[in-house]
Amino acid sequence: MTENVDVWERSLLPLRTSSTGPTAIAAPETYINIESAQTGDVPLNRDEYTIHETGESVDLTFESTTGAGTTGLAGDEAQLLAVRLSEGPESAGFSEGSVRTDLASIFTNDSNANSVELLDDAEGVDSIDDNGVLETSYTPDSGGAYGFILVTVDDGQGLSVSDNNVSTDGNVTVVGVEQTIVQESPSTVETTADDVAAGDNVSLDIETELEDDAVTHAVLLFDEDELQQRTSTVRVTGDIDENFSEDQVTVENSFDGVNGVSSMDDDATFSGGDSTTVGAMPSAGLIGLFGFVLSEASPDSTGDDMMQASATTVSDAADTTVDVETLDSWSNGTYTYVHVAVGEDSNEISSTTGTVTLSDSDDGSDSNDGNDDSDDNDG
C-alpha cells in the first residue's frame, strides 16, 4: 500500500451488493470477528450469494451494520474503484488474489487486474449522506470476478485512474470492500428424470451459450434449508492493512463435516479455489461454498451434525449431461443445485440454480422434475 492510503479496520463489513442477480442462493448464517477492531462475533452482513450478469446494474450500498457504524463518515467525499480481478470466477472469496488480500497491489499498480474503473461525482458517487449511507450502482460490460473498493477522500483530489493505473493525490481511506461474480449469459438446466431416489444420481441436462470447445461444468447439490441452520464464524487476526493475507483468517463451523460425494475431473479448470482457507469456509461466497464441498465431502464422513451435499466438476462440451451423486442416507426433501460453467479458452461464465426433490431410496414416487425450476430463474 502507498503511504497515502489507509485502511479502516472495519472495512470488511459495511459495503455490500444490494441487488439480486439471475443466480442466487440464501447465504448461511455467518459471523465475523475482527480482532484488531475488537468487534466480537458480529454478522458478516451477507444475506445471499449471487452471480450478476453483464449489462445489468449491480447495486451497491454502504451503510451502518453491526460492528461497523458509518454515521461518523457522514458528509465525507467518496470514490469507488470497480476492479475486474480476473476473467474467471476463481478470485472470489477470501482466496489469494481476492480484493481483500490484493489491496496493496491494486494501489501500487502491481496487480493482475484486467481492468480498473473509477466512479466518482460523474457516476453518481458523491458524498456519504447525513445518515452515513451511500448508494450507487455499476454496470459491468464483461464477465469475471469483480472487486469494489470504496474510499473516502481525506485531503487532496483523491484517486484517479489512467490505463488501469491508480494514482493518489492527497490521502484516502479504504472504508468498504466487496466483490461479486458476473456472468455473460445464463445456462439452462433440466433434470433427466421425474423421480430421484436418495442414493441415485441426479442427472442434469445442461445447455449454455458458450462457444468454447471445452467447458468446465461445476454442479453443487445441497439442502439449502439445512445450510441456513448451520453457522460459521470467521476469525480475522492481526491488522487489516497492506499486509493483510489469508493466513490471518480461520473458520469455525457448527457442523462436523460434509456427508456426500466429491467428484473432480482432472481436466476441469474450476476447483473452487486452491486456498486452504476457502476449503474450510462455506462463508466465503458461492465459490467458497463450492470449494468447501469439493474438499470436504465424503460418503464416509461421520459425526453428530453433518451437512448433506455433493459437488461434481467435469470438462466437457458446452452442452452436456452432468451426474451428481447422492447417498441413500440423505434425508428426504428439496435440494438446491447450482450450476456454473466456465469456458476453458474464453473464461466466459454461465450459471443457473434450481431444485430437485429426493425421496426414500426404495420409493422415488414423490420426486419432482427440476424442469419446473427453470421458470423460477432467468437461467
pLDDT tens figures, 8-31: 989 989 999 999 999 999 888 888
- The backbone torsions φ and ψ at residue 37, rounded to the nearest 5 degrees and listed phi first, read -95, -5
pLDDT at 100: 59
Q: Which residue has the higher pLDDT, 317 or 376?
A: 317
Which grid cell sits at 133? 449511507
Going from the N-terminus, what domains does the chain have, and what CATH number goes with each?
Answer: 5-19+57-183 (2.60.40), 185-376 (2.60.40.1930)
CA distance 132 to 152: 12
pLDDT at 254: 84
CA distance 142 to 183: 8
pLDDT at 269: 67
Residues 6+ apart with CB under 8 A from 3: none
Q: Which residue has the higher pLDDT, 178 or 287?
A: 178
CA distance 19 to 332: 32
The backbone region for 368, taken as left when phi is positive above 0, alpha when psi lies in -120 to 50, beta otherwise, is beta
* Low-confidence winner among 158-167, 250-259, 338-347 (lowest mean pLDDT): 250-259
pLDDT band at 280 (very low <50, low <70, confident <90, very high): very low
Give the predicted TM-score (pTM) of the model. Answer: 0.87
pLDDT at 30: 87
pLDDT at 255: 82
pLDDT band at 219 (very low <50, low <70, confident <90, very high): very high
CA distance 98 to 347: 17
Q: Using the predicted structure, report yes or no on whether residue 163 has a pLDDT greater than 80.
A: yes
| CB-CB neighbours of 156 under 10 Å | 12
Write down the mean pLDDT value for the chain.
86
Residues 6+ apart with CB under 8 A from 106: 81, 83, 99, 113, 116, 147, 149, 166
pLDDT at 292: 83
Beta bridge partners of 185: 350
Q: Using the predicted structure, report yes or no on whether residue 91 has a pLDDT greater than 70.
A: no
pLDDT band at 247 (very low <50, low <70, confident <90, very high): confident
Distances (CA, A) of 54 to 82, 138, 354: 14, 10, 21
Q: Which residue has the higher pLDDT, 319 or 279?
A: 319
